[in-house]
Structure 1
Amino acid sequence: MRAEEAAAAFSGERLRLARFRAGLTVREVADRVEVSHAAISQYEIGRTRPTPAVLARLAIATGVSAGFFAFHRRPISPGGLDGTHFRSLRSTTRQGRASAWAWSEIVLDIAEVLERHVRLPDPVVPVRSLAPDAARDELACAAAELRAAWSLPDGPVGHLVRQLEAHGILVARLPVADKGIDAFSHAQGRRPVVVLGTDKADAARSRFDAAHELGHLVCHPDADPGGEQEHQAHAFAAELLMPRAHMLRVLPRRFDLGAYARLKQEWGVSIAALLYRARTLEVISESAYRRAVMIMNRTYGRRTEPYPLPTEERPTLLATAAEVAARSGITLAHIAAQSCLPLDDVRTIVGSTDPRPLVHLDI
């Protein structure tokens, strides 16, 4: 799309999204484009539209193609940043959250383009909206209903990210942790999206993040970032990954590192999560829990623990969709052009079905 056409179809919402994606403030964009910061604000709220020349400079400044700003593209999620589930508002800046949220919208943009060429699984998320004062039994019922709806096995749930993707949830691993964000999610449009960080030292912690965000999608259709919903999502994740009935039978009555390590490998959760679950279910006392945590922290530190899970659960839905599209001649370059995004963005989002480097042999 030429700058003249894009200017005529200009969307201020998509300019804001492009700015968030680039991690820029209004003033920084204004300086790069050589207009006043008031002009950028007016563009974003839709009060005025840029000229074709200014729009071309906006595209260069934010790193997208001019067509990215067109209003006839996929609508931005209506709840925006405030409708997204973030863990903590105190440990992150609004600009950091905005930049991270923009990437979840980029995921949706790329999925929308891919769906022109391939069919993705329909979203299946059994919503059970919970009040802030919901009882713990209600969270357990929500987790049980999810297990039944998804036909999950009675015990360890297996590859959780694959389950999310098989039921139509878009999952991406992106380097958002440098903004103080472990993971986040929202379900404001046709497809829910979950973004997981890439810097977890132990895959078990990342699996819990995925379960936590799934809890939001099931229990919290309306986001309340930083509120009671975070505790509920944590409790949902614990019940989903470590069901009460099973844990009461298998959790040790005293701290035994070997026993907890075996449970970690079997259930795919961290030793820290298992210990906390044991305390919550009153399998061990508060004092026993504290002693065990002190031993673990003294021996391994607060951020690491022994016996890490062998592999991280990686999303494959979008990568597989891209491979299927490629068989019909739709390359990643085509996807990038249709998304009006840099090719590197598409590669970052889509990833690969096999992250291992390929061994080349001379013949």
Structure 2
Amino acid sequence: MIPTVAEAIRVSRGLTQMSLASRAGVSQTAISLLETGHARTPAPIAAALSRTLDTSEALLTTPAPEVELLHAMKDAVRAGVRRRVAAEFILAFVRIQALAPGTRHTARHSGRDEGSPAVCAEGLRSAWQIPPGPVQNIVSTLESHGVVHLRRDLGGTRVNALVGVVGSHRAIMFVDPRAHYDDAAWNIAHELGHLALHASALPAQEGAAEDFAGEFLAPATEIRQLLSSGMDVDDLPAHFRVPPAKFARHARRRGVITVADHRRLRTHSRPPHEHHELPAHAMLAGIVDERTRAGETIEQVAASAFLTVNDLREDFI
């Protein structure tokens, strides 16, 4: 049997099977059978759970997609936080599939297995035709290549961005809206590294994703060219819009700055600049606009994704 979305809904609300059973006036066994898909749920039980969870019966019984998170969270991240994030990814994929069923990402660079993470990052920049210099808007860059972005509270995860995948061509990136642009951009590039390399969520792969992020945001060849043209090494992190300590580690590993520069940059405070906030995502807003122009009402679009109009606008567009 195929598990349903019911478990993700429950977990995202912070409920155990026992607490939900008590609130809904049904047995814990009935909830377990619904979540695992082992039995058809009687109408009265489905109705009671739907009312308690404030969701539709159709969503409760929708098959849950198999979502893989590519980031290996630190051991200190609480199990409850991990379960909540995984549940929110499952619900997001169900709704994105309804809103934009044809969305596919193109981050799987064909030469990813033929070289280092840095080579993969260089190849992806070339494949995506990203011009020299800083990535001007990393959110729109990834969205233009099929990686859906959603703003989500990632408190407790110790990161500002997480990517989840279903199969080999569907990806959603959660980004914490409270993050500074530089930190969020680096974390997004780090998660893009996982996606491009499609490495398993193992601690050993985090270093590879970091190397990818550094080269994607601040290519070593461009660092060398800027230094040769007279730019001060201390100005490079702001130029590429990356955190100084992250830049220092990347540039030193790539052999383009000295040990002394590395030590100094690691202690630099980040100067304030105009790109403090991460740009808003726009892909889904454009898709919803296309659907309404084609004749659907905003209510119909929202209902197709098991959403209210307010939730659609606040959480997805």
Report the Cα distance in structure 1 between the residues aligned to 2:293 and 2:215, rounded to whole angstroms: 41
Any idea what the Cα deviations from partners look like across 1:192-213, whole Å, max 9, x if unmatched? 111111111x201111111111
Report the Cα distance in structure 2 between the residues aligned to 1:89 and 1:335, rounded to whole angstroms: 38
RMSD after superposition: 2.9
Report the Cα distance in structure 2 between the residues aligned to 1:179 and 1:237, rounded to whole angstroms: 19
Task: Give the deviation of 1:121 after TM superposition.
Answer: 5.8
Deviates more, 1:122-131 or 1:160-169: 122-131
Answering whether residue 242 of structure 2 is matched by residue 269 of structure 1, we say yes
Counterpart residue number, 1:111: 96
Shift of the 33–20 alpha-carbon distance from structure 1 to 2, 3 Å rule, reads: same
Shift of the 329–186 alpha-carbon distance from structure 1 to 2, 3 Å rule, reads: same
2:254 is aligned, of 270, 281, 304, to: 281
Report the Cα distance in structure 1 between the residues aligned to 2:156 and 2:299, rounded to whole angstroms: 28
Shift of the 208–181 alpha-carbon distance from structure 1 to 2, 3 Å rule, reads: closer
Report the Cα distance in structure 2 between the residues aligned to 1:173 and 1:251, rounded to whole angstroms: 36
1:135-154 alignment, distance < 5 Å: 138-154=116-132
Counterpart residue number, 2:271: 306
Counterpart residue number, 1:191: 170
Deviates more, 1:285-294 or 1:210-219: 285-294
Report the Cα distance in structure 2 between the residues aligned to 1:25 and 1:212, rounded to whole angstroms: 33
Counterpart residue number, 1:49: 40
Gaps (5+ residues) in structure 1? 1-9, 352-363
Counterpart residue number, 1:322: 288
Task: Give the deviation of 1:55 after TM superposition.
Answer: 0.8
Moved over 6 A (4+): none
TM-score under structure 1 length normalisation: 0.76
The DSSP-based 3-state class of the residue aligned with 1:41 is helix
Gaps (5+ residues) in structure 2? none
Report the Cα distance in structure 2 between the residues aligned to 1:65 and 1:174, rounded to whole angstroms: 22
Answering whether residue 215 of structure 2 is matched by residue 215 of structure 1, we say no
Shift of the 278–161 alpha-carbon distance from structure 1 to 2, 3 Å rule, reads: same
Counterpart residue number, 2:78: 93
Counterpart residue number, 1:35: 26
Answering whether residue 135 of structure 2 is matched by residue 157 of structure 1, we say yes
1:65, 1:341 within 8 Å by CA — same for their partners in 2?
no
Shift of the 285–31 alpha-carbon distance from structure 1 to 2, 3 Å rule, reads: farther
Task: Give the deviation of 1:66 after TM superposition.
Answer: 1.0
2:244, 2:265 within 8 Å by CA — same for their partners in 1?
no
Report the Cα distance in structure 2 between the residues aligned to 1:88 and 1:279, rounded to whole angstroms: 26
Alignment-mate amino acid for residue 323 of structure 1:
D
Counterpart residue number, 1:339: 305
Task: Give the deviation of 1:128 after TM superposition.
Answer: 5.4
TM-score under structure 2 length normalisation: 0.85
The DSSP-based 3-state class of the residue aligned with 1:194 is strand
1:185, 1:192 within 8 Å by CA — same for their partners in 2?
yes
Counterpart residue number, 1:231: 207
Report the Cα distance in structure 2 between the residues aligned to 1:58 and 1:111, rounded to whole angstroms: 23
Alignment-mate amino acid for residue 318 of structure 1:
L
Shift of the 231–345 alpha-carbon distance from structure 1 to 2, 3 Å rule, reads: farther
2:10 is aligned, of 19, 22, 28, to: 19
Report the Cα distance in structure 2 between the residues aligned to 1:19 and 1:129, rounded to whole angstroms: 41
1:127-142 alignment, distance < 5 Å: 127=109, 138-142=116-120
Task: Give the deviation of 1:167 after TM superposition.
Answer: 1.1
Shift of the 93–86 alpha-carbon distance from structure 1 to 2, 3 Å rule, reads: farther
Counterpart residue number, 1:125: 107
Shift of the 335–105 alpha-carbon distance from structure 1 to 2, 3 Å rule, reads: farther
1:215, 1:237 within 8 Å by CA — same for their partners in 2?
yes
Answering whether residue 154 of structure 2 is matched by residue 176 of structure 1, we say yes
Report the Cα distance in structure 2 between the residues aligned to 1:343 and 1:93, rounded to whole angstroms: 33
Alignment-mate amino acid for residue 289 of structure 1:
H
Any idea what the Cα deviations from partners look like across 1:24-45, whole Å, max 9, x if unmatched? 2222222222233343223222
1:123, 1:191 within 8 Å by CA — same for their partners in 2?
yes
The DSSP-based 3-state class of the residue aligned with 2:166 is coil
1:121, 1:167 within 8 Å by CA — same for their partners in 2?
no
Shift of the 16–106 alpha-carbon distance from structure 1 to 2, 3 Å rule, reads: same
Report the Cα distance in structure 2 between the residues aligned to 1:92 and 1:191, rounded to whole angstroms: 26
Shift of the 129–70 alpha-carbon distance from structure 1 to 2, 3 Å rule, reads: farther
Counterpart residue number, 1:360: none
Report the Cα distance in structure 1 between the residues aligned to 2:65 and 2:54, rounded to whole angstroms: 21
